[in-house]
Structure 1
Amino acid sequence: MFLEGRHQFDFLTGGTVRPLPGDALERLWKGEDSLIRSMLINSMEPQIDKPLLSVATAKDLWDTTQTLYSKRQNASRLYTLRKQVHNCKQGTLNVTTYFNKLSLLWKEMDLCRETVWDTPNDDTQYAKLEEVDRVYDFLARLNPKFDTICGRILGQRPLPFLMEVCFEVRLEEDRTNAMGVLLPIPLTPLPLALGPQIMTVTRIMGSQFLCVSTARNNGTPRISVGNSTVVPQETKTPTLGAIAQSGMPQSLGLISVDGKNPWILDSRAIDHLKGSSKHFISYVPCAGNEKIRIADGSLALIAGKGQIVPSDGFTLQSVLHVPKLSYNLLSISKITRELHCKAIFLSVSVYFQDMSSRRTIGTA
């Protein structure tokens, strides 16, 4: 880059031709050429530069070095690099360090390849395929706690670019790290029916909510954490951060809500549910025979349905009024389906992004 900046790289490629002997410019050319040779030799390791001290010109030095140490068409080195990429895992590294480690391997692999394309379009198409492969390599070897964000990324069409993928994973890492520093908080479970599954909504400090997936085994609730299942114990008080880092599905993930009018976000819920008739901007009473099954197995009456505007930019359609419920349930899947958007979970909020324009259309 230094030589390019000083317009001296042509000394290495032969673009700047040596003047004929006796020419007035020969002395200037020799001075510049000697300076470039000196810079190249000083940048080399001692065991490499000594045999090259007697080379006559900078171009000869450059050609000799390329012949001896070029990695192009080096099948053995390329094979070694491919193995290193395959074996590279995040482990104890943070996301940025892990991504940079992979990037260095990819760049060295590019140096080992020398491909001649028939048309410029071939190069473009291959670059797109290679970009997708590198997204897969990056996601495949992340720690299990990022499985949820990986699933969301792989579900996008078209697949995001590599740098965008790295950015989204880094946001998830920041979120889990932020949740991990919170102090232990006592939890009390409250059963709730979310779609066809039995769920547990845990009340935190009386003003926030935490959704945790559960399955029942002989009447005993079990908290699903990552690939393992544990039985809640009275002697252990889980922290909000510990559950946030456990790798549980995002569709049943952590959400925070307003204590006065809580909306529990869940992407597995089919319909929006509201326990109170307040805040409806339009309301149609039901006949009295429509019911919905809740967590305890009983049927709850649907008193009516209508529209609600919980925040600017959002209009919730066909919200079911279920007086028996003491909470409000927001169906993420219904929002994303009706508004043709995606929900992106951050450390303290969720924002909704239009799938076509990728513009943020609302936050929660």
Structure 2
Amino acid sequence: MGDDSKVVVSASASTTKEERPSCDYSTSVTFDKLNGSNYASWYRGARITITSRRMTSWINGKKHAPSSDAAAYAEWKEDNCLVQSWLLNSMTKPVRALFEHGDTAFDIWEAARKTYTVTQNSSWLFQLRRQSILTCQNDESVKVFYEKLHAVWQKIDCMHPHEFKCVDDGAHRLK
């Protein structure tokens, strides 16, 4: 005789499987944990992953908590904790200690942004520009040399994010 017991897992009636994110709380949103000096690449990787999981509203401030007595509050709280865990699990222990007391995923996201954004750091920008000028090809192939330069240029671009209001703005930027 076989065991006929079955486990049935169902999503709430208001949410379909496609709308709900993966519930793996140990998942990190980036390959490299935020360590304080790699914010630009961490930010990009985390934003891409969270967007692919359809949870962008949790980090852009558009997902507000319903009233604590509302029926949707329990689901909101679970999803908030899920995104918080993704963010915190993608940070090194010393960095995580700075942000683990944030009440919402948005609080953690914004605190990290305010702590590590270097758009006002002219010395860092100077250092990157200097590095791009002083980088030499030496005995490297053109491909390797270009990859090094391109990595520096991307860091510089990350310091000056571009807000495009329409497609023409992006096309103009590429010229």
How many residues are matched? 128
Residue 106 (structure 2) pairs with residue 49 (structure 1): no
Residue 120 (structure 2) pairs with residue 73 (structure 1): yes
Of 35, 42, 55, 1:8 maps to 55
In the other structure, the counterpart of 1:99 is 146
Alignment of 1:315-354 (within 5 A): none
Relative to its length, the structure with more strand (as a share) is 1
Q: What is the Cα deviation at residue 75 of structure 1?
A: 1.8
Q: Deviations over 1:203-228 (max 9, x none)?
A: xxxxxxxxxxxxxxxxxxxxxxxxxx
Change (3 A) 1:41 1:83: same
Q: Deviations over 1:98-135 (max 9, x none)?
A: 2221111111101111456898756544432xxxxxxx
The gaps in structure 1 that reach 5 residues or longer are: 129-364
Q: What is the Cα deviation at residue 62 of structure 1?
A: 0.6
Q: What is the Cα deviation at residue 84 of structure 1?
A: 0.6
Relative to its length, the structure with more helix (as a share) is 2
TM-score, structure 2 as length reference: 0.65
Greater RCO, CA 8 A, separation 6+: 2
Change (3 A) 1:115 1:17: same
Report the identity percentage. Answer: 25
Q: Distance in 1 between matches of 2:169 and 2:53?
A: 33
Q: Distance in 2 between matches of 1:124 and 1:25?
A: 42
Q: Deviations over 1:212-250 (max 9, x none)?
A: xxxxxxxxxxxxxxxxxxxxxxxxxxxxxxxxxxxxxxx
CA contact (8 A) 1:11 1:33 kept: yes
Of 101, 104, 107, 1:60 maps to 107
The gaps in structure 2 that reach 5 residues or longer are: 1-47
In the other structure, the counterpart of 1:30 is 77
Q: Distance in 2 between matches of 1:117 and 1:70?
A: 20
Q: What is the Cα deviation at residue 34 of structure 1?
A: 0.9
Q: What is the Cα deviation at residue 20 of structure 1?
A: 1.2
Alignment of 1:195-234 (within 5 A): none
- Secondary structure, counterpart of 1:15 in structure 2: coil
Of 61, 64, 89, 1:17 maps to 64
Change (3 A) 1:46 1:112: same
Please say which structure displays the higher CA radius of gyration: 1
Of 136, 147, 153, 1:89 maps to 136
Q: Deviations over 1:185-208 (max 9, x none)?
A: xxxxxxxxxxxxxxxxxxxxxxxx
Change (3 A) 1:92 1:44: farther
Aligned-CA RMSD value: 2.2
TM-score, structure 1 as length reference: 0.33
